[in-house]
Structure 1
Amino acid sequence: MNPLQAPGNKPKIGLVLIGGASEGGGGTGRRFARLFQHFQRTPSRSNVSLVTTPEFLELMERSSIPIDANKNVVYCESTAIKSGAGPLDKLGHYRDASAKLASLVAEHEFDVVHIPIPNLLYAPYLLDAPEGVRHVFSMTAAVGSFDSMHWKSQLLYRIGFESCDAIDTLYSDIAGRFPSYANKLHVSPCSFTDYSHYQPANEKERSIVFAGRLEGFKNPELFVEATSVAADVLRQHGWTCKLFGDGELRARVEAQIAHYGLSDLIEIDQVPDLSPYLNRSSIFASIQLTENYPSQVLLEAMAAGNAVIATDVGETRKIVDEEVGVLFDPQIPENLAQAMTRLVSDDALRDRLASNARDRILEEHTVERFAAYMEDLWVAALADPMPSRRLSRLRTGRLIAEAAAGLKFA
């Protein structure tokens, strides 16, 4: 029976957080772990259980997201693939893991299974999804990055889109890119993170922060180049820059700082907790090449009372506009230096943007708002007539062939 047809009967939701991004799920994993943490602490319309591994919970503990392992947590065996495993071993591993997941779904009688972290581990499960269970799949990749994905990653999305009853996404432009699945798409009204450690310090420092992996799409070299252009103004007004992160461009960024003679202006470091620095800084630069939304460190910086400088790309304006920061075209790098000099030179403007940024985050990008959206999505998946979601062998073969051939997925 559809659980919505029974008065007072809450639907059972299985939230599957297994694998991906070094088994910790990356930003998506942390966001949904915080969501589950919220459901553990707050009465809701659904009975939400977390299907996960001990390794994932340990990683969340180290990320300051403690989850009560004795409350609605369903353990699955470790999903890590042994080093050196060949293709056939991997296929066998995926098949066995999917069978175990199907067994857990049946044992706990979930009405809805939600898979937020795309991982090839789930492909066999989705291809032979249990009858009578609704499935929700999360599209975590921004539209701009999809076509450059490895074909295996694209294949997983193809299978997820085809086999699931509803698709969750943060990005409103997904429907235009995938019109065939527009009727399944549900766009979140916000993102969120834990803001409890982010509050403006009584005494703000004259500092600009860049934080993120030192990789090309994060644009750390542009940050250094712009600092060199704005250096005279920064020194005149007593400002410094802090660059937090590590990655493949670390050596190049350090060489760039030395080349421009910026060692007095830019401090480069890697720290486990950014909150003390963001609470004291005054400006945060989020200058990714294709998308700044829903960067968790950007949310944290705004909650800490930082005015924002951001590239005007993707769906960045869902969180940053002219009321909270300065946006610029990444095709015109000089605009970043101009934004820096403008904000460091105008205290009133900077303070107004910083105050607006904090207000926006605490009012609009909250776990309560995201949880309400998610429960509405689960209810919507349950309310629709039950379709047949199992893919035929012919359709499955076609999806694999199209992905391997690099044909555009629409």
Structure 2
Amino acid sequence: MSHFGDLSMGGQKSMFALIRNLDKSRFEPLAIVPYEGELSKNLASAGCTVFTMPLLPLKPKFYFQQISNIASLSRIIRTHCISIVHPDHERDALIAGLACKFTNAKMLWHVRLTRKVGTDKITFSLADKVIGIAEDVRNRFEGMASLDRKYITIYNGVDCDEFKPIDKTTIKAKLGLEPNKFIITFAGQFKRGKGLMDLIAAATLIDNDNHQFLLIGKPESENFLAEMKEAISAANLESSVKIMEFQSDIQNWFAASDIVVLPSHEGTEGMGRVLFEAMACGTAVIGTNISGVRQAISQETGLLVAEKSPQSLAEAITKLMADNDLRHSLEHNGRQRALEFFDIKNHAINVEKIYEQLISVKK
């Protein structure tokens, strides 16, 4: 189950990558999405049956729709003999857990964020198993019954054959980027918690004209996008900070970048998928020292900086611009870390083991 129908965000990319890499001789995936869109089209192309259901916020005005969703999901489970329901958003996990109570299906909650929400206790109690994408996710459920039995950490996976190093001069030329420009890229949803205003402020502190910031993604709201543009204009950064729509070939943009930066605030990330995607592409990374992100980046593979600190961001960017040896070392080590810890093939195998455990236990 996916709470969003786009394919521009980390959770949906992770879901799609998992489904593509499941052993179809043993598991038949079906997907539920809130509306038809890029995610449903890609899932269908991968041979996955897709259902649409209005997955809405847990607010009083939507309670009747949520009750209807529980009934609809229960019918889908029975009709298609579904053994496991695998949501990755707390709102959907609550609905899935209640639907599973009326059937023989198990609920596997895939938790992608470290921040706590008010429904965590009841949703955790409804889950038969909980996967967290980083060790820090476990802290979200500290003190809850059966934590050791229910919870397991499985890092997200990236296709390291698709996300791979490419000669930077070649790929910059292919993408129309200036070959001698130092490219600093952010990729993700445009929202305040991603630290974009910090990154724009950091751009004003870099005393070097031979660089280009690329902000690639989709805005959470038009108001925030307007605020970003206003900040760029007010600082006269139009020539060095470029806002771009989400790119379906994001792996090429990561490979062309000299640095990928994720300046997120605490509670916004589970792990920061773009970081290990960039590392798989052999690109140096900078992230904020927050839960989850500090597990994606090791001392040998990237730089961690204080959150909400444009000065720290600017200093880290400037350091990697000036020190080619350090940057190249991070590039090499990052690729190796991605292969060792974040390869999608290993991720799929580890999730399949959880599926097998759940199927083997009678409800």
TM-score (norm 1): 0.73
User: Secondary structure of the residue that 1:47 maps to in structure 2?
Assistant: coil
Equivalent residue, structure 1, for 2:175: none
2:12 to 21, 29, 39: 29
Alignment of 1:222 with 2:198, yes or no, is yes
Q: 1:27 to 1:269 in 2, by over 3 A?
A: closer
Equivalent residue, structure 2, for 1:338: 315
Alignment of 1:367 with 2:340, yes or no, is no
The one-letter code sitting in structure 2 at the alignment partner of 1:136 is L
Equivalent residue, structure 2, for 1:67: 46
The one-letter code sitting in structure 2 at the alignment partner of 1:180 is M
Superposed counterparts of 1:10-409, under 5 Å:
17=1, 20-22=3-5, 26-39=9-22, 43=25, 46-52=26-32, 55-56=35-36, 58-60=37-39, 66-69=45-48, 73=49, 76=51, 78-80=52-54, 90-119=62-91, 123=95, 126=98, 129-130=101-102, 132-142=104-114, 145-147=115-117, 154-155=118-119, 157-178=120-141, 179-181=143-145, 182-204=147-169, 205=179, 206-230=182-206, 232=207, 234-235=208-209, 238-247=210-219, 248-273=223-248, 274-290=250-266, 291-330=268-307, 332-382=309-359, 386=363
Q: How far apart, CA to CA, are the structure 1 residues paired with 2:8 and 2:235?
A: 37
Q: 1:246 to 1:193 in 2, by over 3 A?
A: same
Contact 1:94 1:121 in 2 (8 A): no
* C-alpha displacement of 1:197: 4.0
Give the share of equivalent positions with the same residue, in percent. Answer: 19
Q: 1:201 to 1:38 in 2, by over 3 A?
A: closer
Q: Which has the larger radius of gyration?
A: 1
Q: How far apart, CA to CA, are the structure 1 residues paired with 2:96 and 2:129?
A: 18
* C-alpha displacement of 1:284: 0.8
The one-letter code sitting in structure 2 at the alignment partner of 1:228 is T
* C-alpha displacement of 1:317: 2.2
The one-letter code sitting in structure 1 at the alignment partner of 2:247 is P
User: Secondary structure of the residue that 1:136 maps to in structure 2?
Assistant: strand
* C-alpha displacement of 1:354: 1.1
Contact 1:168 1:187 in 2 (8 A): yes
User: Secondary structure of the residue that 1:321 maps to in structure 2?
Assistant: coil
Q: How far apart, CA to CA, are the structure 1 residues paired with 2:97 and 2:40?
A: 28
User: Secondary structure of the residue that 1:256 maps to in structure 2?
Assistant: helix
Q: How far apart, CA to CA, are the structure 1 residues paired with 2:34 and 2:186?
A: 33
User: Secondary structure of the residue that 2:22 maps to in structure 1?
Assistant: helix
Contact 1:126 1:159 in 2 (8 A): no
Q: 1:29 to 1:229 in 2, by over 3 A?
A: closer
Any unmatched runs of 5+ in structure 2? 170-178
* C-alpha displacement of 1:319: 1.3
- CA RMSD for the aligned pairs? 3.2
The one-letter code sitting in structure 2 at the alignment partner of 1:296 is R
